[in-house]
Each structure stands twice: as C-alpha cells, then as structure tokens.
Amino acid sequence: MNQLKRIHAHTLRTGIDFNKFLITKLLEIPNIPYAHQLFDLIPQPTVFLYNKLIQAFSSHGPHHTCFSLYTQMCFNGCSPNQHTFTSFFTASAKFNSPRHGQTLHARLVKSGYEFDIYASTALVDMYAKLGVLSYARQVFDKMTIRDVPTWNSLIAGYARNGNMEGAAKLFDEMPVKNVISWTAMISGYSQNGKYVDSLKLYLEMENLKDVQPNEVTIASILPACASLGALEVGQRIETYARKRGYFKNLFVCNALLEMYAKCGKINKAMELFEEIGARRNLCSWNTVIMGLAIHGKYNEALQLFHQMLGEGMTPDDVTFVGAILACTHGGMVKKGRELFKLMSNKFSITPKIEHYGCMVDLLGRAGELQEAYKLIQTMPMQPDSVVWGTLLGACSFHNNVELGEIAAEHLFKLEPWNPGNYVILSNIYANTGRWGGVAKLRKMMKGSQITKAAGYSFIEEGSHVYKFIVDDRSHPRSNEIYWILDEVFTKMKNNREDIFECFS
C-alpha cells in the first residue's frame, strides 16, 4: 500500500498517467474508497476502469454504488459491454432488486449482448438468486450455448427454492458435471430435509474418478449424516477432510461438530471443540451447548454457556434455546426462568416461539402445568402445534385432563390430520378411567378417516442407510435378515429359560 502511495505521489509530481495501474492494484488489495477517489479524478474513464470499479462494488458493496456508476457511465457517453452487465447482474442479486435486474436485462438486449454466454449466465444466476425462476428458465432456454456454470446456476436456484424435482431433472440432463454441480444437488437435498437422497448422491459422487468432494461438499453432506445418524459415513468423511486439509475451514469443523453431537458422540464432539480452539465462533459454541443439553449433560452445558459469556462471546437466540433446554433436562425451573428473563433484560434478544416452547416444556415436565398454560396465553405470537403439543405431552405425563383437552382442541384445529394428538388425549382419558372419552375420540378418528401412520426407523450398515417399518420385507435380503432375527430370538428365549431354571 505504501508503495502504491509513492507511485501516486510520483504521478502527481511528474504528470505521468499511472491511474489505470494504480486503480487496478488498489482494487486487488482491496482499497476500494482510495481507488474510487482516483477514478473520480480521471476526466474520461475507459469502459475497462468502469467495469473494474463496478465489479469491486458488486463483490464488496455497497451495491447501490454500481447503479450510480452505471448512470454516470451512460451520461459520459461510455458504452457498457458484456462485462459491465455481468457485474451488474451480480450486484442486483446481492442488492435483492428484481426491478433493477429487469431494467438491466432490457438494456442488455438493446446493447446486443443478449446471447453472450457470460452475461446470459450471470443473468440466469441473478434471476435464480432473486427467486424469479420463471425468468431464469426463460433466459436459460433461449441460450444457444450453455456451459457448466450456466447449468449450475439454474440447478442451485431450483434447489434454493425447494424444487428438488426440477433441480434433479436438470442435473440428469446436464452433459458435463463438475464438483459444483454435485455439491449444489447434495446441499439442496440436505437443506430441504431430503437427507437420504443427499447421502445417496454423495456416496455416488465418492465413486467418481474425475470429480472429488471439496470443502463445500463436505460441509453440505455432514448435516445429512447428522440427521440420519450415519456415524460410519461421517467418520470416513472426517478422515478424507483431514487428509485434504479441509479442517482449516471452520464450516467443515462446525458441520463435523454437529454430526458427532447429534450422533451421540458428545465426548468426541468436545474433543473436536477443544481442537478448534481460538477459531471457535458462535456456531461452534451453540452446537456443543445444544449437544450437551440434548444428551442430559445439563451441568456441562450451563458451564459452557457461562464460559462462553466469560470469554466475551455474545450469545444469540439459538444459544438461549440450548441453555433453557439444559434446564429442562435438569429440571432446573428457577434457572430456566432466570435465563428466559436474561435474554431480553441483558442481551436485548426478543424471545421467539422456540424459547416459549422450551419454557412450556420446562414447566410442564416439572408439573407446573398452570404456569405453562398461562405462559402460552401471554405469548406475543400465536402458539403453534409444537407449543400445544408440548403442553399436551406434559398433561399426558401428569394425567391432567382439563388442560389436556384444551391443548388437544387447539391441535385438532392446527393439524387435524395428525393422529398422534388423538392418541395422546385418548391415553390421558384411559389413564384416568374416562372410557367414554376414549370411545368418543375413536369415533371422531373413524369419522374423519384419520389413521395412525406406521412408524419407521433408519439403520446404517456398510456405508448405506436403510429405512424400515414393522414387518418390512422390502430389503432384497429380507429372508436372511428374518432368519437371523429368529435365531437371535430363539437363543434369547433359551437363555431366559436357563436363567429361570437356575433360580427355581
């Protein structure tokens, strides 16, 4: 930077024009304000310099400056080219302005660059990021030549907007795929809750010779492993990531941290948390606090929460969900109330519906059902099915018919299709000897044609995750599986009889 300042001073003394060189180098640093000041001193800037400055503001912001420069450019009679529009479309996506994007699209067509592959790809990407997929598809379909980034932009747009069927169709039609194509699909499936599809595609990608997962791929697939409990695959991914040096990426570390926490390896998660050390961010702290709380290590979770505060890390709403959840698992009602108040009083965090749900769970488990109900009544937002379901669950545990009926009534309106609510209320009636209520609920379910869906489980075996239900025979080796199961059952039965004989 000092050397560039000396060159600038030399330019001012000698009158030699080094502005193009200086602006280019300043934008590489980047020192955009300094570059902009030099740019304003040039009487007739070239389209190259306009493009360089627009590109810089497009990448680093403020994005509205791009539009000011474009207006200035046109006013000074400097005609934009395809690179100008490419940078502008990127800025429009970040500026979240469909109107500006459409205006620039029209000017692109008037300028004769409609079929330039780079400008058109940027246009597809802009519309996709803005969520205007119909326009993105129109531009895509008009393109006579498409490269891999063009396909990737549209696939990512479909995935981002939850249309995984559309994304998958494009992915299958794609003539050539790169790591970004595979990652967009893997990430899309994972972010849309299609974890089995995400993992299946990742395992398929692992077998490719010409495409290998990168840091983004790893950070995208690990949440799917966490949600499925695919510990074996997750551990193999960790080995791969370490060999590749991906642990320098905090997103990868945090994703692995979540995987171990959700898969029950909380001690392994703590080891990794310590390994991350000074690089830990709020996500790292939140993941471990939540993991400890869920696994019943409520004292350790709260200790970590206070350690976090002691190290000067400011908590957010997710942190408090974890901390209150720790109180719930530890039955620490008083501490939970304190934390709930601390959110707004000290950290100016407005409690969300998740925090109210945690408090209802905390109070309900402790038998403070009336207080839990009063809290629901004072919520600034409408209680959702999770909040009422939590209260209903607490009423089931404590056999409270009155509040159970109130909670169930709200749930019947919010999710009339859910048979679980009918079953829980029916159990409350049965436990308190109210058989008339049980019969009434059965009649209601039958009249509304509500049936209880079959429960299912996942099991990981040989790097594959299988889904199965009761008496499931969909697996191609189900006959062998059931034969072994019968053998195990027979041995258990014989061993039990041997034990009874020893005591008789």
Taking alpha carbons only, the member of 201, 143, 196 closest to residue 171 is 201
Count of beta carbons in the 10 Å neighbourhood of residue 316: 15
Number of helices and strands (H, E) in the chain? 28, 2
Q: What is the pLDDT of residue 321?
A: 97
Evaluate if residue 266 carries a pLDDT over 80.
yes
Evaluate if residue 58 carries a pLDDT over 70.
yes
Reading the block at residue 357, the tokens are 């749900």
Reading the block at residue 394, the tokens are 């607490």
pLDDT digits (tens, 9 = 90+) for 101-128: 788 788 888 888 888 888 899 889 889 9
| Top-ranked range on mean pLDDT: pick from 314-318, 467-471, 474-478 | 314-318
Q: What is the pLDDT of residue 17?
A: 52
Evaluate if residue 374 carries a pLDDT over 90.
yes
| Average pLDDT value for residue range 303-322 | 96
Q: What is the pLDDT of residue 458?
A: 58
Q: What is the pLDDT of residue 378?
A: 95
Average pLDDT, the chain: 86
Domain ranges of the chain: 281-351, 376-451
| Average pLDDT value for residue range 275-298 | 95
3 state SS for 395-407? HHHHCCHHHHHHH
pLDDT band at residue 502 under the 50/70/90 scheme: very low
Taking alpha carbons only, the member of 103, 150, 157, 164 closest to residue 122 is 150
Taking alpha carbons only, the member of 40, 23, 97, 25 closest to residue 63 is 97
The amino acid occupying position 316 is D
Reading the block at residue 241, the tokens are 């990531």
Taking alpha carbons only, the member of 459, 43, 25, 49 closest to residue 229 is 459
Q: What is the pLDDT of residue 12?
A: 46
